[in-house]
A and B are shown apart, each in its own frame.
Chain A
Amino acid sequence: MAALIEIERLTKRFGGFTAVDDVSFTVDRGEVLGFLGPNGAGKSTTMRMLAGFMPPTSGTARICGADVVDQPVAAKRSLGFLPEGAPTYPEMTVTGFLGFTARIRGFRSSEADDRVARAMRMTQLEGVRLQSIETLSKGFKRRVGLAQALLHDPPVLVLDEPTDGLDPNQKHEVRELIRRMAPEKAIVISTHILEEVDAVCTRAIIIARGRVIVDAAPSVLEREGRSLEEVFRELTLGAPKQEAA
Chain B
Amino acid sequence: MAPALIVARRELAAYFATPVAYVFIVIFLVLSGALTFTLGNFFARGQADLIPFFSFVPWLFLFLVPALTMRLWAEERRLGTIELLLTLPLPQWQAVLGKFLAAWAFCGIALALTFPLWITVNVLGEPDNGVILSGYIGCLLVAGAYLAVGAAVSALTRNQVVAFVLAVAICFVFTAAGSPVVGEFLDARIPGIGGGRPRHLGGRPLWGLHPRRRLGPRYHLLRQLHGLLPLRECRHPRPPQGGLGA
Contacts and interface: CB of A to CB of B under 8 A. Distances in A.
Secondary structure of the B side of the interface? helix
A156 B1 CA distance: 26
Contacts of A79: 87
Given A87-B80, A88-B81, A91-B14, A52 B87 contact: yes
B48 interface: no
Nearest to B85: A104
A76 B89 CA distance: 5
A87 B75 CA distance: 12
B87 A73 contact: no
Of B17, B83, B87, B88, the most chain A CB neighbours within 10 A belong to B87
A232 interface: no
A90 interface: yes
A103 interface: yes
A83 interface: yes
Interface residues of A, number: 29
Contacts of A100: 6, 10
A96 B83 CA distance: 19
Contacts of A74: 89
Given A91-B17, A100-B6, A104-B3, A48 B89 contact: no
A84 interface: yes
Contacts of A104: 3, 6-7, 88-90
A172 B18 CA distance: 36
Nearest to A51: B87
A87 B81 contact: yes
B84 interface: yes
B14 A87 contact: no
A191 interface: no
A25 interface: no
Nearest to A83: B83
Contact of B18 (A72, A81, A91): A91
Nearest to A88: B81
Nearest to A104: B88
B88 A89 contact: no
B83 A87 contact: yes
Given A48-B83, A103-B1, A73 B89 contact: yes
Nearest to A101: B88
Nearest to A105: B89
Given A89-B14, A103-B1, A148 B84 contact: yes
A77 interface: yes
A87 B89 contact: no
Contact of A89 (B1, B81, B86): B81
Interface string B82-115: 0110111111100000000000000000000000
A27 B91 CA distance: 26
A65 interface: no
Contacts of A87: 79-81, 83-84
A79 B87 CA distance: 9
Contacts of B86: 52-53
Interface in B8-56: 10, 13-14, 17-18
Nearest to B81: A87
A78 B86 CA distance: 14
A235 B14 CA distance: 47
A139 interface: no
Nearest to A78: B89
B68 to A, nearest CB: 16
B88 A105 contact: yes
23 contacts: A51-B83, A51-B87, A53-B86, A53-B87, A72-B91, A73-B90, A76-B87, A84-B83, A87-B79, A87-B83, A87-B84, A88-B81, A89-B10, A89-B14, A89-B81, A91-B14, A92-B14, A92-B17, A101-B88, A103-B6, A104-B7, A105-B89, A106-B89
